[in-house]
């Protein structure tokens, strides 16, 4: 005789089944939390991040103090009553007035002054007396310079522009390569150890992919924001508020562009890694993506003073996170250009996620030899 199932037992079984399968949001967060936790428990990651932040702070502080010392350093110069007025008007010069040429030469020989400026004896208005080499800055300042007309004046200090280009390029390349590589290694490791089969029995492949991308995006953005905070503190401590005011908007735009640019690259890294089953084969599928990451770094350093190349870079999705903030820093971009570039990047990001998810889903359970791209797209 069969035993009827009680309502309470039936209800309990249904509730258990419901709670046993996580929702999509819960599944994504569980995977993201796992990715974040594994990174934060890694001593190598914490140490490398700490060293990166210290190097960034040291570079800003040393550069700030060096520029301040260079600005405040003065040149001791001996003058007579006839040349005192002209030399005193020069910047970064400390004047010592003497009575005659003999006294001026004595100060120069005793190395108490770097040079002496005396009345000229020929066509020139001044004669500079130095021990071994005449100070170039002093000679240039007292020379009669021709009138100069600049047709296209520089919008930023060329040296500062170069270093800002290096900074944007290194941060983008370093963060994208580091966390993109982490996604690729994690996926291949799960395939190689067959852990992915257990994971897919609990959550869909797209949920697993989303969790990995979101987790590593949070880590990458955390590193970017930490670097931005360190840069801000360093510029304030060294008294470079003027540089900070010009860098504020470009840094914010860099963070926004990097967020979506990294999601695009992360989806491609995940798709590329899912096509192989061994750690040794990761390079065969991820090398093209790595080249896409390195290209903006190289281009922005070489062509940081080329408006045409920077403009093209600012609209190409893979280089926009570097090109557009650089153009904003030098003042070459109109207010609407970052918005248009961001729309293009968002559209590319959506396309990369759709294609990457398809490749990832079709390749994840295929073990052995490398999955061909056409086969991964067809399924």
Average predicted confidence (pLDDT) for the chain: 84
In angstroms, what CA-CA distances link 187 with 33, 39, 77, 278?
Answer: 16, 14, 68, 10
Strands 126-130 and 115-119: antiparallel
Which has the closest alpha carbon to 184: 271, 280, 262, 290? Answer: 271
CB 179 within 8 A of CB 42: no
Reported pTM: 0.74
Question: Per-residue pLDDT tens for 294-328?
Answer: 999 999 999 998 999 999 999 999 999 999 999 99
**74 vs 357: which has the higher pLDDT:** 357
C-alpha span between 40 and 44 (Å, rounded): 9
pLDDT value of residue 164: 87
Sign of CA dihedral 84, 89, 90, 92: positive
The yes-or-no verdict on residue 16 having pLDDT over 50 is no
Task: Judge contact between 112 and 123, C-beta under 8 A.
Answer: no
Question: What is the band of 152 on the pLDDT scale with cuts at 50, 70, 90?
Answer: low
Say what the pLDDT of residue 225 is: 92
pLDDT-derived band of residue 9, with 50, 70 and 90 as boundaries? very low
**What does the angle CA 42 – CA 45 – CA 47 come to, to the nearest 5 degrees?**
105
- DSSP 8-state code for residue 73: -
Q: What's the CA gap between 331 and 246, in Å, rounded?
A: 9
Write the pLDDT tens digit of every residue in 177-228.
Answer: 999 999 999 999 999 998 998 988 889 999 999 999 999 999 999 999 999 8
CB 335 within 8 A of CB 312: no
Helix (H) or strand (E) holding 15: helix 7-20
Report pLDDT digits (tens) over 84-138.
877 877 777 888 888 888 888 888 888 888 888 888 776 667 888 888 777 777 7
């Amino acid at each position: 005789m069969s035993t009827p199932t009680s309502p309470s037992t039936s209800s309990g079984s249904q509730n258990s089944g419901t709670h046993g399968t996580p929702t999509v949001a819960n599944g994504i967060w569980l995977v993201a939390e796992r990715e974040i936790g594994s990174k934060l428990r890694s001593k190598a990651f914490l140490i490398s991040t700490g060293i990166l932040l210290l190097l960034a702070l040291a570079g800003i502080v040393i550069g700030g103090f060096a520029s301040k010392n260079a600005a405040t350093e003065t040149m001791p110069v001996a003058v007579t009553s006839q040349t005192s007025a002209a030399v005193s008007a020069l910047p970064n010069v400390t004047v010592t007035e003497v009575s005659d040429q003999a006294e001026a030469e004595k100060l120069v020989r005793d190395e108490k002054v770097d040079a002496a400026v005396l009345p000229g004896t020929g066509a020139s208005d001044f004669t500079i007396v130095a021990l071994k080499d005449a100070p170039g800055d002093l000679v240039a300042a007292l020379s009669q310079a021709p009138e100069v007309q600049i047709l296209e004046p520089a919008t930023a200090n060329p040296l500062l522009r170069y270093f800002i280009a290096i900074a944007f390029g290194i941060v983008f390349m370093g963060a994208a390569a580091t966390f993109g590589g982490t996604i690729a290694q994690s996926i291949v490791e799960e395939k190689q150890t067959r852990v992915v089969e257990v994971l897919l029995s609990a959550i869909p492949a797209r949920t697993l992919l989303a969790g990995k991308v979101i987790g590593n995006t949070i880590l990458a953005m955390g590193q970017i924001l930490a670097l931005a905070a360190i840069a801000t503190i360093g510029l304030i401590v060294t008294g470079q508020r003027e540089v900070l005011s010009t860098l504020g908007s470009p840094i914010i735009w860099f963070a926004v562009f990097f967020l979506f640019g990294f999601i695009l690259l992360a989806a491609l890294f995940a798709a590329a890694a899912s096509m192989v089953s061994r750690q040794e084969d990761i390079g065969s599928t991820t090398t093209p993506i790595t080249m896409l990451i390195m290209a903006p770094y190289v281009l922005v350093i070489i062509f940081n003073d080329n408006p045409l190349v920077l403009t093209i870079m600012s609209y190409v999705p893979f280089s926009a996170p570097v090109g557009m903030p650089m153009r904003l820093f030098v003042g070459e971009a109109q207010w609407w250009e970052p918005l248009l570039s961001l729309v293009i990047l968002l559209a590319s990001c959506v396309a990369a996620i759709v294609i990457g998810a398809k490749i990832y889903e079709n390749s994840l359970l295929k073990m052995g030899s490398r999955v061909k791209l056409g086969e991964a797209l067809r399924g």
